[in-house]
Amino acid sequence: MSQDAHHIETLAVHAGRTPDPTTGAVMPPIHLATNYERDATGACPRGFEYTREGNPNRRALETSLALLEGGAAAACFASGNAAAAAVFQALTPAQHVVIAQDTYYGTAVLLKDIFADWSLEATFVDATQPEAIAAAMRTNTALVWVETPSNPLLSVVDLPRAAEIAHAQQAHLLVENTLGTPILQRPFDFGADLVVHSTTKFLGGHSDLLGGVVITKRQDAFFERIRRVQVVGGAVPSPFDCWLLQRSLKTLPCRVRTQSETALKVARFLATHKRVERVLYPGLPEHPGYLTAKRQMSGFGGVLSFTLKEGDAAAKALPARTRIFTHATSIGGVESLIEHRASAEGPGTRAPQNLVRLSIGLEHPDDLIADLAQALGDVPHAEPKPVFPGGRLLRSPKEL
């Protein structure tokens, strides 16, 4: 089918997918083969030679992800950090990166602890201020890396201004779009050259796979270097993970929009709570990036953070009091999660010690709000009992 003018819901279901030509199966098979037959001349006429270089499941997934973001091509990796590392490996030691100081913790660790030894220079800036990005630019700046909305502080970057600044220096603008997803935010429409996702999160959406992707707006020399790192370095996802991820993409629009709508309701509840100091969510008018987010996004995402007036001890204790929210690391799954983010990140974290991060799933918003209300002490905190008929005891102190 022609996929040039379809809506994103249709692309999510059909992009990169055709019935299996051998069996007619609507769902594609999982190709576990590591190698492929050559013809009499030694060539590989079917386009596959060795699974590190290419696999039918990965090729289909990369086609899907590129089409969803409106890009020209995609390179999938075994994790979000592997995708980020490939971008940095595609640079040279003489080059310079301007990167948002409010970026995913693991990305910052890569630059500070790994690529510093390569003499790859990096300047961390407050990317919510375009003048800070401009002031950090050098003649050898090759890449401007921003994350919007950011994790876990939910800061928002003005993408058209960032693109203007980067392109004036002939640098690439890369947008980490994990929280935005292609459903809520389309960075290529605002001047981005590259988009990165941790596909583990919203794209996967079921807390059962690990992955990352780099998507390019155009097939240029820089992306070809990223592709070379992918193929030679070999940090590629398994065929099964590719199959799982492509399965998940079919429901991405429905999941993300529901999570975003619920997150806004939860944020509004928390914003009026007497124990809450501040809610960090770009869908609230009091958020400093609200107007920018409204221009760039069709929804505000399924992640929010908030700080407690009582300080770090109260923030650390809160996850143990919830019954529906699960105390676990990650975001984007169908189940709602709660976490004291500073404890998860450890030394060097930029997350305030009194900050709690929520990842909103697909539960009913009234149930999630009621769970937070009881955890925050709005009702007496009794011994937990089974939440679901025949279900296990949720949030028992013995489980913590």
pLDDT tens digits, one per residue of 192-242:
999 999 999 999 999 999 999 999 999 999 999 999 999 999 999 999 999
Residue 33 has what DSSP assignment?
-
Question: What pLDDT does 384 receive?
Answer: 54
Instruction: Give 389's pLDDT tier (boundaries 50, 70, 90).
Output: low
Comparing C-alpha atoms, which of 370, 302, 366, 305 is closest to residue 336?
A: 302
Distance CA(148)–CA(347), nearest Å, equals 23
Question: What pLDDT does 392 receive?
Answer: 46
Backbone angles phi, psi at 259, to 5 degrees: -60, -40
Mean pLDDT of 102-118: 90
Mean pLDDT of 156-160: 98
What residues contact residue 181 under an 8 Å CB cut-off, 6+ apart? Answer: 197, 202, 203, 252, 256, 301
Domain 8-249 matching CATH 3.40.120.10: the answer reads: no
pLDDT at 158 over 80: yes
Mean pLDDT of 93-112: 93
Task: Let me know the angle formed at the C-alpha of 68 by 65 and 70, rounded to the nearest 5 degrees.
Answer: 105
Question: Which residues are paired to 339 by β-bridges?
Answer: 357
Question: What pLDDT does 40 receive?
Answer: 82
Instruction: Give 386's pLDDT tier (boundaries 50, 70, 90).
Output: low
8 Å CB contact between 339 and 356: yes
Backbone angles phi, psi at 247, to 5 degrees: -60, -45
Mean pLDDT of 337-361: 93
Residue 30 has what DSSP assignment?
P
Of 393 and 266, which is predicted with more confidence?
266
What tokens appear for 352 in the block?
Answer: 């305030």
Distance CA(73)–CA(47), nearest Å, equals 17
**For the chain, how many residues are written?**
400
20: Cα within 13 Å, side-chain hemisphere: 12
pLDDT at 2 over 70: no
Mean pLDDT of 48-74: 94
pLDDT at 352 over 50: yes
pLDDT at 162 over 60: yes
For residue 242, count CB atoms less than 10 angstroms from its CB and return exposed for 0-12, middle for 13-18, buried for 19 or more.
buried
Distance CA(126)–CA(146), nearest Å, equals 10
Question: What pLDDT does 400 receive?
Answer: 37
Residue 111 has what DSSP assignment?
I
Comparing C-alpha atoms, which of 216, 198, 219, 246 is closest to residue 71?
A: 216
Instruction: Give 398's pLDDT tier (boundaries 50, 70, 90).
Output: very low
The pLDDT > 90 percentage for the chain reads 79
pLDDT at 396 over 50: no
pLDDT at 387 over 50: yes
pLDDT at 114 over 50: yes
Question: What pLDDT does 47 receive?
Answer: 80
Of 198 and 26, which is predicted with more confidence?
198
Q: For the CA atoms of the chain, what is the radius of gyration?
A: 22
Question: What pLDDT does 5 receive?
Answer: 64
Backbone angles phi, psi at 394, to 5 degrees: -90, 135
Mean pLDDT of 13-36: 86
Question: Which residues are paired to 97 by β-bridges?
Answer: 122, 143
Residue 194, H or E segment: strand 194-197
Distance CA(341)–CA(349), nearest Å, equals 9
The full set of domain ranges for the chain reads 8-249, 252-399
Mean pLDDT of 323-332: 97
Distance CA(343)–CA(355), nearest Å, equals 10
Residue 143, H or E segment: strand 141-147
Mean pLDDT of 349-378: 95
Task: Let me know the angle formed at the C-alpha of 7 by 5 and 12, rounded to the nearest 5 degrees.
Answer: 115
Least confident of 117-121, 169-173, 314-318: 117-121
As a whole number, the mean pLDDT across the chain is 92
Q: Which CATH number fits domain 252-399: 3.40.50.1000, 3.20.20.450, 3.30.70.270, 3.90.1150.10?
A: 3.90.1150.10
Comparing C-alpha atoms, which of 356, 370, 276 is closest to residue 323?
A: 370
Residue 229, H or E segment: helix 221-233
Helices 221-233, 80-89: crossing angle, 10 deg rounding: 120
Per residue, what are the HEC states of 360-395? CCCCCHHHHHHHHHHHCCCCCCCCCCCCCCCCCCCC
